[in-house]
Amino acid sequence: MGVARGWVAVLSRAVGAETLGEEAMIEDDAALGPLLALFQSEVHDRADRVDPTNEQDWFSVTLGWAIAKGLTPESAHDFAIHVRYKTNLA
């Protein structure tokens, strides 16, 4: 599954690079490293503050975080699926 366009801008901001352009797409999941690291530091590593009672649906937390970072809803959904099924962060 290719990475949706919304990730390009978020990755660019996350690593401090210039925007890669709307037409650019990142096909390699390894390119998600900076975005996953940002998610880890802002959400996963703060799980005790984000969800102190461990009652939240973490797929929804991930989805909301991704939308707040500027991903389209479709891209955020793809990101949340990636985090849930291809990482140990959810």
Average pLDDT in the chain: 78
Above 60 in pLDDT, residue 17? no
Mean pLDDT of the region 39-44: 94
pLDDT digit string, tens, across residues 46-65? 999 999 999 999 999 999 99
* Residue 32: per-residue pLDDT: 83
Q: Which residue has the higher pLDDT, 15 or 63?
A: 63
3-state DSSP of the chain: CCCCCHHHHHHHHHHCCCCCCCCCCCCCHHHHHHHHHHHHHHCHHHHHHHCCCCCCCHHHHHHHHHHHCCCCHHHHHHHHHHHHHHCCCC
* Residue 90: per-residue pLDDT: 73
